[in-house]
């Protein structure tokens, strides 16, 4: 008889990987620590694999676990949805919901409306670079993520929220650039404050710059928008920015670059298997109400295993 994974094994594995402790996992699941240990040990022995690294002070997921972590989260989320429906007789949105975003100016209004609409749901929202968000989404640490890219990765599903120009954030003042737009030769002479390498905006900017013959530049990099604002205000340079990021600022303005390719799309993406869970469905509905697209289509569903 072929070995099969039990639901309790998946629960135990997810809890230990997420909490980094057998003791904390047992407490969350309401069972003894030996029970959790035995469930995971039996699972690893059944399939001859190592899913958790126990060599350090905390328990960490192995690479093999990260490859299936998103699928485990999908199974557990669907089970929660079924349970809530059977217990209450309706589709309640409760539990924990993890959101990642790369541009808070786009994501936060949507998240705020969602939190107000579903106060019983524990929502955690964290900002990061697009590439890091995609990794967290794929390994199950996030339910949904807002990312900046040219297109939705082929192994995920999602909807387009808006598109915005990529250009430069420049200071406002007498010594600031006065032109309405720049060309690439002028950009090459400026001290650029760049985003982190995993940023979707930075990747689009670098790709277009290479096509136009502008070599990569070394210099300052910022990890969040507040840092970029401070650097620009201190006249340390001009920052690579999205037009949407500059709209609410008073000390800086958006300076476009004359290039039609410098446009970024902002997507809400998720694992395809999570589409049938109540929180993801409701979040998609909330996001569609904020979408800047002239025509809202059904979520794009991709089933290829290739990663963008």
pLDDT at 89 over 90: no
pLDDT at 294 over 70: no
Structure pTM? 0.68
- Write down the pLDDT at residue 141: 85
CATH 3.40.190.10 spans which residues of the chain?
Answer: 73-162+265-290, 164-263
CA dihedral 293, 77, 274, 50 (to 10 degrees): 130
Is 173 in contact with 233 (CB distance < 8 Å)? Answer: no
- Write down the pLDDT at residue 254: 94
Q: At residue 155, what are phi and psi to the nearest 5 degrees?
A: -95, 5
pLDDT band at 85 (very low <50, low <70, confident <90, very high): low
CATH 1.10.10.10 spans which residues of the chain?
Answer: 7-67
Average pLDDT over residues 241-265: 91
Fold of 7-67: Arc Repressor Mutant, subunit A (1.10.10)
pLDDT at 196 over 70: yes
pLDDT at 87 over 70: no
Give 95's strand partners: 121
pLDDT tens readout for residues 127-168 = 998 889 998 898 888 999 999 988 898 889 999 999 999 999
pLDDT at 90 over 60: no
Report the percent of the chain where pLDDT is more than 90.
31
**Residue keyed to tokens 């030769």:** 185
Q: What is the CATH number of domain 73-162+265-290?
A: 3.40.190.10
Average pLDDT, the chain: 84
- Write down the pLDDT at residue 114: 94
- Write down the pLDDT at residue 304: 37
Dihedral of alpha carbons 9, 10, 13, 19, sign:
negative
pLDDT tens readout for residues 21-64 = 899 999 988 888 888 888 898 888 888 889 999 887 788 889 99
Distance CA 40, CA 35 (A): 9
C-alpha distances (whole Å) from 106 to each of 3, 248, 250 are 46, 12, 18
pLDDT at 69 over 90: no
Average pLDDT over residues 84-109: 77
Report the percent of the chain where pLDDT is more than 70.
89
- Write down the pLDDT at residue 158: 93
pLDDT band at 299 (very low <50, low <70, confident <90, very high): low
More confident position, 125 or 174 = 125
pLDDT at 308 over 50: no
Fold of 164-263: D-Maltodextrin-Binding Protein; domain 2 (3.40.190)
- Write down the pLDDT at residue 101: 95
Average pLDDT over residues 83-87: 64
């Amino acid at each position: 008889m072929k070995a099969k994974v039990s639901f309790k094994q998946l629960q135990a594995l997810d809890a230990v990987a997420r909490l980094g402790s057998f003791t904390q996992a047992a407490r969350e699941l309401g069972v003894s620590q030996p029970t959790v240990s035995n469930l995971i040990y039996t699972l690893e022995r059944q399939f001859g694999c190592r899913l958790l690294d126990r060599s350090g002070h905390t328990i960490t997921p192995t690479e093999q676990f990260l490859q299936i972590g998103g699928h485990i989260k999908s199974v557990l989320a669907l089970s929660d949805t079924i349970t809530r429906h059977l217990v209450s007789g309706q589709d309640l949105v409760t539990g924990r919901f993890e959101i990642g975003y790369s541009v808070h100016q786009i994501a936060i209004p949507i998240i705020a409306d969602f939190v107000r609409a579903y106060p019983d749901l524990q929502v955690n929202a964290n900002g990061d670079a697009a590439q890091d968000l995609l990794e967290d989404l794929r390994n199950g640490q996030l339910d949904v993520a807002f990312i900046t890219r040219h297109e939705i990765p082929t192994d995920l599903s999602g909807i387009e929220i808006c598109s915005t120009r990529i250009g430069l954030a420049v200071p406002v003042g007498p010594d600031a650039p006065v032109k309405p737009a720049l060309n690439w030769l002028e950009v090459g002479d400026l001290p650029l404050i760049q985003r982190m390498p995993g940023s979707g905006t930075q990747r689009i900017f670098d790709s277009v710059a290479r096509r136009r013959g502008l070599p990569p530049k070394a210099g300052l990099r910022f990890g969040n928008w507040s840092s970029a604002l401070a650097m620009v205000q201190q006249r340390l340079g001009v920052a690579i920015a999205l037009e949407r990021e500059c709209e609410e600022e008073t000390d800086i303005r958006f300076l476009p670059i004359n290039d039609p390719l410098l446009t970024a799309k902002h997507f809400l993406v998720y694992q395809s298997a999570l589409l049938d869970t109540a929180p993801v469905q409701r979040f998609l509905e909330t996001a569609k109400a904020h979408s800047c697209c002239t025509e809202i289509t059904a979520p794009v569903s991709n089933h290829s295993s290739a990663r963008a």
